[in-house]
Amino acid sequence: MSNDFKSIHEFDFTLICNYFKALKRQGPGSPEVTQKAVSFINELSDKARIADIGCGTGGQTMALANYTKGQITGIDLFPDFIELFNKNAIEAHCEDRVKGIVGSMDALPFQEEELDLIWSEGAIYNIGFERGMNEWNKFLKKNGFIAVTEASWFTPERPSEIEDFWMANYPEIDTIPRKIMQMEKAGYIPTAHFILPENCWTEHFYAPQFPVQEAFLKEYAGNDAAADLITGQRYEESLYNKYKEYYGYVFYIGQKRD
Ligand code: SAM
């Protein structure tokens, strides 16, 4: 196989990365919500060790750096995101304590009981909430905190169109009480949870995509995979607008039990 050959999958990843790289954040959230979640954890010292798992280009990490002390390691699977992340840290003047590294959330490069805080916005779904809660626990110091956002149902039942969409894409989506029970089982005291307000989706996630989609379709004119990607993103947005009373992201904050 020659070096310049790219499999369909590699190409799709490049395409997806190029699309999301153009956005400040790769998932729903906002600086206000990051700050609110920080308010539920104990104050950290300058020596605190924090990991932001699935950090993307660091939209939420730079906000987190504003509201916490300590060293933050952002970790993401995609080198292009990490390159931008480290540029963003320099721009935010926090490169001395915020560093991005390439790595996978299922093989984290931390020691047992090394971390004071694990942060993860819109990313734990990549290995699943329950697995992430369980596997990441050992990296936290005793009484350390975890704060993640996770797609959750707001009602016990919902219309089949949205139920089917999530079952096909992330069947681990569940109700808030069940997510909290999973946290408890994984060894945390669930200290707080709250639903992300609608503007985390509309203003901070979907609206910035509009100009990026227009530019992307022009850049990749005639490319079916690019057109499919945009169609998919627009469909997701339409589903959110139609069914937002049934689901959304919830911030779950917990403290590691002794
Ligand atoms: N936290 C960012 C935010 O809220 O803007 C990014 C959220 S984005 C929806 C999910 C992120 O998880 C992407 O940056 C993706 O590259 C990353 N990701 C996917 N699988 C991963 C893995 N196995 N290990 C680390 N990061 C992963």
% of residues, the chain, pLDDT over 90: 94
Q: For residues 59-85, b (16+ Cβ closer than 10 Å) or e, as one string?
A: bbbbbbbeebebbbbbbbbbebbbebb
Measured in angstroms, how far is the CA atom of residue 14 from the centroid of ligand 1? 14
Q: Is residue 163 part of a domain?
A: yes
Residue-number span of the structural domain to which 120 is assigned: 26-198+246-256
Which of 81, 126, 148, 204 maximizes ligand 1 atoms within 8 Å of its Cβ, making it the mutation to test the pocket? 126
Q: Is residue 49 part of a domain?
A: yes
**Ligand 1: residue whose CA is nearest its atom 18:** 54
Q: What is the CATH number of the domain that holds 70?
A: 3.40.50.150
Mean model confidence pLDDT for the chain: 95
* pLDDT tens-digit series, residues 105-144: 999 999 999 999 999 999 999 999 999 999 999 999 999 9
Q: Sort strands 188-195 and 174-175 into parallel, antiparallel or unpaired.
A: unpaired
The domain tally of the chain equals 1
Q: Is residue 8 part of a domain?
A: no
- Residue 193: per-residue pLDDT: 98
Query: Tell me, what amino acid is at 199?
Result: N
Measured in angstroms, how far is the CA atom of residue 17 from the centroid of ligand 1? 11
Q: Is residue 241 part of a domain?
A: no
Q: Which of 163, 180, 133 is nearest to 247 (CA)?
A: 163
Model confidence, pTM: 0.95
Q: Is residue 179 part of a domain?
A: yes
Residue ranges of the chain whose pLDDT lies below 50: 1-4
**Ligand 1: residue whose CA is nearest its atom 24:** 104
Measured in angstroms, how far is the CA atom of residue 242 from the centroid of ligand 1? 25
Measured in angstroms, how far is the CA atom of residue 240 from the centroid of ligand 1? 20
Which of 24, 76, 82 maximizes ligand 1 atoms within 8 Å of its Cβ, making it the mutation to test the pocket? 76
Where do we find the tokens 């996978």? 104
Q: Which of 240, 41, 234, 232 is nearest to 151 (CA)?
A: 240
* pLDDT tens-digit series, residues 64-78: 999 999 999 999 999
Which ligand 1 atom lies nearest to the CA of residue 28? Answer: 4
Q: Is residue 219 part of a domain?
A: no
Which ligand 1 atom lies nearest to the CA of residue 75? Answer: 25
